[in-house]
Amino acid sequence: MPPETSVEAHHFQALGTNCSLFGVGVSRSRLLQGEFWVHRLGERLTRFSPDSELSRFNASAGRWVDVSPELEALLRESLRACETSGGLVNVAVLASMQAIGYTRPLAEGRPTTTVAVARPLPPLPQVLEVRPGAGRLKPGAGIDLGGIAKGWMADRLLEELGSNALANLGGDLSAGGPGPAGAGWPVGLGGVTVLLRNQGAATSSVRRRRWGELHHLIDPRTGQPANTGLAEVSVVASTGLEAEVVAKTALLVGPDLAPVYCAAHALAWWLSP
Amino acid sequence: MRTVVLRAGATVLTLATTLLSAAYVTAHLKNPAAPLQPTVVKASTGSPATGPGGVKLGPSVQPGSGQPVTSTYAS
């Protein structure tokens, strides 16, 4: 095994969570540029700011509006995620989020709503259309990009940071290259260390962002917080975004189907009831 | 007389349609072994290894022995 090379690391707060960037042979200024990119794009994609690009897109439901290349890419990935998950990963959750009182970052105070009144989500392709440079939401629909954005951003960051780097945005991570010792990036998953090389990982859970009986992970079949018998799923897949989609889908299909689903779609996984 | 002809024609047409439909269906039987719905999951390429704590590891993910530099977690 080759000698371990030094890793440049940078930790910061963004997207309402902890973020970390690592690189071998990557300058600190490049990691700082990565942080700046995360902040800048995060401000455009948050649903909590009325002036963000996403909020303006949600507010323009019913008509075609111009969208940035980044938002267009994320909307297209959202449609793809909805398709590959059989509709279980659906970003058109804004109405449900509002119904359960999740209308501001939890750091600003926990929601006071204790009873969820929500309806099943419509299939995303029925409420979201995307064409080059523009998008349109059906009136009444709204989206929250959530983990889709984090996984996608981790993958994009990796492209910017070089051939041997790792980006972790609140648990959605993407690892490229041989890592510090040549065998892959050592990453914690389910309490053990796994070596990732040109792979991504993500965790979906109902244990965090929780208040009372409610939490942030919406089951599109009910429009209410998921209650499938699984509390947490961690997954390794080929990219950070794919890991995010697989982890959320596995959690939503529940403990009976999740092992089979993960065996077909994940490279490694951990299920917690 | 004309009514009788019309009734006979309708009867013949009905019988002919029924017989032709039966012949068509018989000649185009679906494969009884075909799945009733699209495949939901792909076949697994092999049994995953089970690591500590019940973590399942496919062949492209190796366990590490040292401390991780970071972790995937719920946020």
Where in A122-252 does DSSP place strands (E)?
128-131, 134-137, 165-169, 172-176, 185-189, 192-196, 199-205, 210-211, 214-215, 218-219, 224-225, 232-237
Instruction: Please give the ipTM for the structure prediction.
Output: 0.82
What whole-number distance in Å separates Cα of residue A137 and Cα of residue A260?
34
**B40 contacts on A by Cβ (under 8 Å):** 86
Q: Is the overall model pTM greater than 0.95, yes or no?
A: no
Query: Does some domain include residue A180?
Result: yes
* Total count of domains within chain A: 1
Contact B56/A268, CB-based, under 8 Å?
A: yes
- A3 in a domain, yes or no? no
Is A2 within the bounds of a domain? no
Å between B38 CA and nearest CA of chain A: 11
Which residue in the set B40, B61, B70 is minimally distant from A268, CB to CB? B61
Residues 248-267 of A with CB under 8 A from B: 259-267
Query: With 70 as the cut, is the pLDDT of residue B40 above it?
Result: no
Range of the domain at A196: 8-272
* Per-run averaged pLDDT (10 residues), chain A, 273 residues: 77 94 94 96 94 96 96 97 92 87 76 68 94 96 94 95 95 95 94 95 89 82 89 96 96 92 94 93
Q: For residue range A187-201, what is the model confidence (pLDDT) as tens digits? A: 999 989 999 999 999
**Residue A83 is part of a domain; what is its CATH number?**
3.10.520.10
Contact B69 A9 (CB under 8 A): yes
Strands (E), A42-103: 65-66
Q: Which of B43, B54, B66 sits opposite A186 (nearest CB)?
A: B66
Asked whether residue A101 is assigned to any structural domain, the reply reads yes
Within a domain: A233: yes
Q: Does residue A1 lie in a domain region? A: no
Closest to A47 measured CA to CA, from A88, A119, A97, A121: A97
Does residue A35 belong to any structural domain of this protein?
yes
